[in-house]
Chains A and B, each alone.
Chain A
Amino acid sequence: MKISVDKKKCSSQQRCLHLYPSLFEEGEHGKARVRIDVKVLTEDDEIDAQAAANACPSGAIEIEY
């Protein structure tokens, strides 16, 4: 599974990085990005990533299954 944040869609509300700081961090202009140190997702991470994508108000978190 791969996760990414679509900067164009991101509305900088930062729900993802507050909810799951182990996966997301603040990037440029207050937009969220996947943490650089996140390399391989554990099974727990995968569920957290989906939960973050669900919670994103603008649907900016993309998941490749």
Chain B
Amino acid sequence: MLNAETSYMDPTKVDLTDTAIQKCPWEAYRNLRDEAPVYYLAAADMYVVSRYEDICDIVRDPKRFSMAARGRGFLFKTDEAVRYYEDHGRPRYTPLSTDPPYHTEFRSHVEPFFTSGRIRTWEPALRNLIDSLADKLDTSEPIDFVQKFCFPLPMSVMTVLLGLPLEDHKLLKHWTDVWVLPFSHAMTPQQEMYVAEEGVAMQKYILAALEQKRRDPRDDLLSLLVQARREDGSELTEKEMLGFAEQAIVGANETTQNGLAMSMCAMIENPGIEERLRDEPKKIRTFIEECLRLHSPTAGMYRWTTEDVAMHGVTIPKGATVHLRFAAANRDERHFEDPDVLDLERKKAGSHVAFSHAVHHCLGAPLARLELNLAFEILLSRRTNFRFARPTDNFDYVPGLALRQLEYLWIRSDPRGAI
């Protein structure tokens, strides 16, 4: 057993903000799980939790580990950016940053849209979108799978589900890419203002779209928001509708994009998997769960303590930021046997925390799962012999703490005979 003082508190030991560690974090995660399961990361002023069971316990304990207790200043360091939102748009808000019982009530209005059965009704639309993007792979030339396929797909899907014109997906993609910049925790004041200006532009676009849905409701997510009624007959507030729409757009984007890219990477890196999936398409589901587990598109999320909490000999003080490192928990050998192996026979494959668990379990998980499964089903039916078109040690990841994102993934593939 290492001395608690040095192993838990030594900020030089594992710095998750270090881009070299972000590129290949697995050894660092093992180190954290084994030696410092609650670890104070000085560079980001937060306590990192890395074991599977600990994360499961925390996400079921919203009283002590709150979403709502997040302090002002977590996203924006300057007051100017915050004030710009307030003066020109609405304060930046998402219903994700709330706790039960309010969160439970709010979520009950949008949950029916995201059940596995309801999401299945969108399957034909999703197949069309995936098929038209898969056309871009119909070449013997190397293509950047990230740019050509992973970038446009999730935002196209969400644009359709929201009931917005498909051609607007590029606009939404731009806004959501800007929206998440504060999570890098490394913005200049100028960048903060840019985020606020683009954020307000996005809000104005969504508010106009909500107004249009109010006049002409359809079977889509924005219409559901304007038509939702509370028990007393009242509508959701503008703040809630706007916040939820922003959250749905942002939540659908990079996460699914990373899931697609990392799954392609994993399929190529593991010999025999591609053939196995083509022979046994039923195994695609386990494959996707394993990719989500191994590569955790959302590497971590946050909570804020409402009281002092002692864990593994460390006292996390009241008001501290706690970082739940899903990517580390998903390779915890205390829960998953041979955790670094992509195993299509793994019984526990679906128990990963890639979508978190419990209260804030990803609302869009059934949509993300369907998108990922259909994408691989369609790609495997159209192309074969997927391979890297560049040396694999050249992979670059977008710097960031919460998301692990490939900047590009150059691949080649061959047509599948006469189909």
Contacts from A to B (Cβ < 8 Å): 1, 13, 15, 18-21, 43-44, 46-51, 53-59, 63, 65
A54 adjacent to B357 (CB under 8 Å) = yes
Closest 9 CB pairs of A and B: A50-B350, A47-B350, A55-B361, A54-B357, A50-B351, A57-B359, A65-B347, A18-B115, A57-B358
Please tell me the size bucket of the interface on B: 20 to 34
In the complex, which residues of chain A have a beta carbon less than 8 angstroms from the beta carbon of B60?
57-59
Q: Which of B196-204, B207-215, B281-289 contacts A (4 or more CB under 8 A)?
A: B281-289
Instruction: Give Cα A4 to B111, complex, Å.
Output: 23
Measured CB to CB, the closest approach of chain B to A65, in angstroms, equals: 5
- 9 intermolecular pairs with C-beta atoms under 8 Å apart: A15-B111, A21-B117, A43-B282, A48-B116, A51-B350, A51-B366, A54-B352, A55-B365, A59-B357
Measured CB to CB, the closest approach of chain B to A37, in angstroms, equals: 17
In the complex, which residues of chain A have a beta carbon less than 8 angstroms from the beta carbon of B348?
50, 65
Does chain A have a CB within 8 A of B313? no
B347 adjacent to A54 (CB under 8 Å) = no
Encoded as 1 (CB less than 8 Å from any A CB) or 0, chain B from 354 to 365 comes to 011111010001
B285 adjacent to A47 (CB under 8 Å) = yes
B349 adjacent to A19 (CB under 8 Å) = no
Question: Considering only CB atoms, which chain A residue lies closest to B359 in the complex?
Answer: A57
B111 adjacent to A54 (CB under 8 Å) = no
A56 adjacent to B285 (CB under 8 Å) = no
A53-B351 in contact given A43-B286, A58-B60 (Cβ < 8 Å)? yes
In the complex, which residues of chain A have a beta carbon less than 8 angstroms from the beta carbon of B164?
none
Encoded as 1 (CB less than 8 Å from any A CB) or 0, chain B from 153 to 166 comes to 00000000000000
In the complex, which residues of chain B have a beta carbon less than 8 angstroms from the beta carbon of A21?
115, 117
Partner of B349, one of A13, A47, A56, A58: A47
CB proximity to A under 8 Å, residues B113-167: 115-117
A20-B351 in contact given A13-B104, A54-B357, A57-B358 (Cβ < 8 Å)? no
A55-B350 in contact given A13-B104, A44-B285 (Cβ < 8 Å)? no
Instruction: Give Cα A49 to B348, complex, Å.
Output: 11
Instruction: Give Cα A18 to B107, complex, Å.
Output: 13
Instruction: Give Cα A44 to B361, complex, Å.
Output: 20
CB proximity to A under 8 Å, residues B361-376: 361, 365-366, 369
In the complex, which residues of chain B have a beta carbon less than 8 angstroms from the beta carbon of A57?
60, 100, 104, 358-359, 361
B289 adjacent to A59 (CB under 8 Å) = no
B358 adjacent to A46 (CB under 8 Å) = no
Output the residue of A20, A21, A51, A63 with the most chain B CB within 10 A: A51
Question: Considering only CB atoms, which chain A residue lies closest to B104 in the complex?
Answer: A13
Does chain A have a CB within 8 A of B81? no
